[in-house]
Amino acid sequence: MSVNVAIENLTVDLGGHRILDGVDLDIPAGSFVTLLGPSGSGKTTTLNVLAGFVERSGGTVRVDGRPIDNVPAHERNIGFLFQNYALFPHMTVGENIAFPLLARKIPAAKRREMVADALRLVHLPGMESRSIRSLSGGQQQRVALARALVFKPGLLLLDEPLAALDKQLREAMQLELKRIQVETGTTTVAVTHDQVEAMSMADLVAIMDKGRLVQVGSPEEVYRCPANLFVATFLGEANLLPVSGGRVTGLRHAASTSRSEGIGVVRPEDVVIRPEAADDTVPGRVELSVFQGNRWRVSVRCPGREAPVVVSVPPGGTGPRIGEEVHLAVGVRRIHVVPAPAGAAARPEAVAAR
Amino acid sequence: MDALRDALPRTRGWFTLFGALIGLFLLAPLAAILPLAFTTSRYLVFPPVGFTGQWFTVVLTDPAWQGSILNSARVAVTAAVLATVGGTSGALAVRRLSRGQQILRTTMLAPMVMPPLVLALGLYLTYKSIAGGTSLTVLTLGQATLAMPLVFVTVAAGLAAVDPALARAAQSLGHRWPSVVWRIELPLVSRSILSGAILAFAVCFDEAVLALFLVPPAQQTLPVKIWTSASENASPAIAAASALVICLAVTLLAVVALLRSRPGKEKA
């Protein structure tokens, strides 16, 4: 039932601006792909082209090998979950969910059955006759999801699906969306600007910047081995350390580097605090130590370094105290190095914030 | 801040007074005409004498008056229906157009700024030369043109409150655009359409400029009948007819106000 989607050299120009600039992306059948990027990166436009809402200027989109560029939106058989849900306020929950079935000329009895099944899937059984206005935000989203899935589309598109929910609900819905996607096996593409959200739902994360696709990979891949500085800083926190001649400048370390020149990306959890000095440690003084529930976030000032090194310390026990002298070591065997962007000499060393 | 707060109530007092004066100025003619509808005199002269309801009976039973009311009603209903279909279609179309929106919007609003006299004269001369004369049908078409911008504006305002994502959602769920219009957009703006239609009817019912030019002598509408009576016999029935028209207008405006104020389905 689920389909694979191939986006080939997709280009979109709107009002004299190039919104998408040659995007290539393969979406395997049954996978969950998130398009991640800052606003204006072209992720929503990509989704709208898939849905048939935006005209492409160049390139092609194939579904199971067939180009769909000239298929109008209403014939694409794609489920679309809108950011604000776009439920029809003059219809009940049941009528909303039956709406796509109406277009498909499904008889009333069968329709009722399918609506009930869809409501069960989103854990809202028996809510058919409720009015849209009487639902909470989370319930509205579930209804919108049921409506987008009731006709068993081959492809499900989610536009910032969790942006309108409060934090607690958002985390619950992340898992819920993932569960429903696994249960139905529908190929799913979600747009988000939240990296935690992107990584926790997706099989594949596609990172976009300025209308281009920067990197596609599993969440672990893009986090561990970012393709460039943008990806490294966009996904989580990182210590960015200049590397030349295969060594991090001014830092003793046993680890090798993935390339000899560039900027090393060392995640806070890749730095360990050792009790005693050794061949591969660097001395430093704790400048800040903050408890964040799942870790201590410790920034350590090392002599001769401009920016502090950020270290994640497991939350058990007491964290390092401010002013304490510590010895830092790189806890991975290989430091991932990304190419230095042109003009990088301006900021040789920095900590990328979340 | 304190000075401002002190000044505010006084300013509001002046506003109230000014508003009341404007209201008085606008309503004074009504105050003059309404009592005359009950005069026992045979002529429409101020001040009224005595009290009688006979002029209302005349207006409602005399075949000439009755016929003119029926003509007005028939023309106004048809014109309102035409204006509603046209104005609503225009408002829906403007929303769908990817370019040329401004041109269509201006075209739809053009009858609002065009002097009715020009429209009346144009229709009169055209139909005189191609059909040998005008008819209530021509009047209906002319009035529909005049009323269409009202419906257009009302429905466009209603549509502006409808989330554009709803149409996209309906499309993605497999519905073609006619189905989207019929099942989503029209139901959501039904109140706006109804108030637009009522306004159109109210405007057409007592429209006089087009009517004076286009009404055939044997088929007078109410405003034309009032006009000719005023110049022929100056009967107080004119005042009674005017009072009825005013009552109708007030009622219709009240209905429109009610339609707009009740928590509507248009608010998503």
CB atoms within 10 A of CB B34: 17
pLDDT at A304: 77
Strands A204-209 and A212-217: antiparallel
Sort out which chain A residues have CB atoms less than 8 A from B166's CB and list them. Answer: 86, 88
| Cβ-Cβ contacts under 8 Å, A114 against chain B | none
Region A132-152: mean pLDDT is 93
For residue A15, report the phi and psi dihedrals to the nearest 5 degrees.
55, 40
Would you give the distance in Å from CA B239 to the centre of its chain? 21
B99 touches chain A (CB under 8 A): no
- Is the pLDDT at A215 greater than 90, yes or no? yes
Residues A304, A282: contact at Cβ < 8 Å? Answer: no
- Give the residue-averaged pLDDT of A14-27: 91
Percent share of chain A, pLDDT over 70: 96
pLDDT band at B9 (very low <50, low <70, confident <90, very high): low
Annotate A320-333 with three-state secondary structure. CCCCCEEEEEECCC
Q: Which residue in A has a C-alpha nearest to residue B172's C-alpha? A: A74
d(Cα A230, Cα B161) in Å, to the nearest integer? 40
Closest CA to A306 of A261, A232, A260, A240: A240
Q: Which of A86, A89, A100 sits opposite B174 (nearest CB)?
A: A100
Beta-strand relationship, A187-192 and A32-36: parallel
CA B130 from centre of chain: 30
**Residue contact B174–A77, C-beta within 8 A:** yes
B168 in contact with A at a CB cutoff of 8 Å? yes
Spell out which residues of chain A touch residue B165, defining contact as CB-CB under 8 Å: 82, 84, 86
Is the pLDDT at A15 greater than 90, yes or no?
Answer: no
Domains parsed from chain B with CATH numbers? 58-261 (1.10.3720.10)
> Is A264 in contact with A335 (CB distance < 8 Å)?
yes
pLDDT at residue B6 greater than cutoff 70? no
Cα–Cα distance measured from residue A280 to residue A272, given in angstroms and rounded to the nearest whole number: 11
Kindly indicate the confidence band of residue A162, based on its pLDDT and cuts at 50, 70 and 90. Answer: confident
**For chain A, what are the domain ranges?**
5-223, 236-352
Q: Is the pLDDT of residue B265 over 60?
A: no
Mean pLDDT of chain B: 87
pLDDT at B99: 83
What ipTM was predicted for this assembly?
0.81
Does the pLDDT value for residue B267 go beyond 60? no
Query: Is residue A323 left, alpha or beta, with left meaning phi > 0 and alpha meaning psi from -120 to 50?
Result: left
Residue range A5-223 in CATH 3.40.50.300:
yes
CATH architecture, domain A236-352:
Beta Barrel (2.40)
Cα distances from B202 to residues B52, B75, B150, in angstroms, run 28, 11, 11
CB contact B161 to A (< 8 Å): no
pLDDT at A92 over 70: yes
With beta carbons less than 8 A apart as the criterion, state whether A269 and A236 touch: no
Residue A349: its pLDDT value, please? 53
Cβ burial of B208 (10 Å; 0-12, 13-18, 19+) is middle
- Residue among A34, A18, A38, A44 nearest A230 (CA): A38
